[in-house]
Amino acid sequence: MQEIKPSVDDRVKLCAETVAGPSALVVFGASGDLTHRKLLVSMFKLFTQELLSDRFYLLGCGRKKFSDEDFRSKTEKSLRDSSDFLSSKHLDAFVSKLYYIDGDYNDADLYEHIASRVAELNRKHNVGGNLVFYLAVPPFLYTTIVEHLDSSGLARTSSPGTEGQVRLVVEKPFGRDLQSAVDLNNSIGRCFKESQIYRIDHYLGKETVQNILMLRFANAIFEPVWNRNYIDSVQITIAETDGVQHRAGYYDTSGALRDMFQNHMLQMVTLVAMEPPISFEADRVRDEKVRLLRSIRPFDIDKFDDFWVRGQYGPGSINGKQVKGYLEEVGVKPDSKTETFVAAKLFIDNWRWQGVPFYLRTGKRLPVKDTEIAITFKKLPYSLFSSAGFDELPPNVLVLKIQPEEGIALSFQAKRPGSKMCMSTLNMNFSYKSVFYVDMPEAYERLLLDCMVGDQTLFTRQDDIEISWRLLTPLLQAWDRDSSAPHKYAAGSGSFPEADKLIDTDGRRWRKLAAKSMYDHYQ
How many Cα atoms sit within 13 Å of 11 on the Cβ side? Answer: 3
- Is there a cis peptide before residue 173, judged by omega within 30 degrees of 0? yes
Alpha helix ranges (H) inside 406-496: 432-436, 443-453, 462-481
Separation between Cα atoms, residue 223 and residue 277, nearest integer Å: 13
Provide the residue type at 146 as one letter. V
Phi, psi torsion values for 404, nearest 5 degrees: -85, -15
Annotate 42-73 with b (16+ C-beta within 10 A) or e (fewer). Answer: bbbbbbbeebbbebbbbbbbbbeebeeeebbe
Burial class (CB in 10 A: 0-12, 13-18, 19+), 381: exposed
Non-local CB neighbours of 400 within 8 Å, separated by 6+ positions: 208, 211, 212, 215, 372, 373, 374, 375, 408
Residue 375's nearest CA partner among 345, 402, 395, 394 is 395
Helix (H, G, I), strand (E, B) or coil at 86: coil
Active site annotation includes 264: yes
Compute how many other C-beta atoms are within 10 angstroms of the C-beta atom of residue 507: 6
Alpha helix ranges (H) inside 49-157: 68-82, 88-95, 108-125, 142-151
**Which segments of 121-219 are extended strands (E)?**
131-135, 166-170, 197-199
Residues in the chain: 523
Annotate 142-159 with b (16+ C-beta within 10 A) or e (fewer). Answer: bbebbbbbbebebbebee
Separation between Cα atoms, residue 434 and residue 455, nearest integer Å: 30
Compute how many other C-beta atoms are within 10 angstroms of the C-beta atom of residue 212: 18
Number of helices followed by number of strands (H, E) in the chain? 16, 19
- Is there a cis peptide before residue 404, judged by omega within 30 degrees of 0? yes
Helix (H, G, I), strand (E, B) or coil at 26: strand
CA angle 372, 375, 377 (to 5 degrees): 160
Compute how many other C-beta atoms are within 10 angstroms of the C-beta atom of residue 417: 5
Separation between Cα atoms, residue 485 and residue 468, nearest integer Å: 25
Given the residues 90, 264, 487, 521, the one annotated as active site:
264
The β-bridge partners of 428 are: 410
Give the residue numbers annotated as catalytic, written as ranges: 264
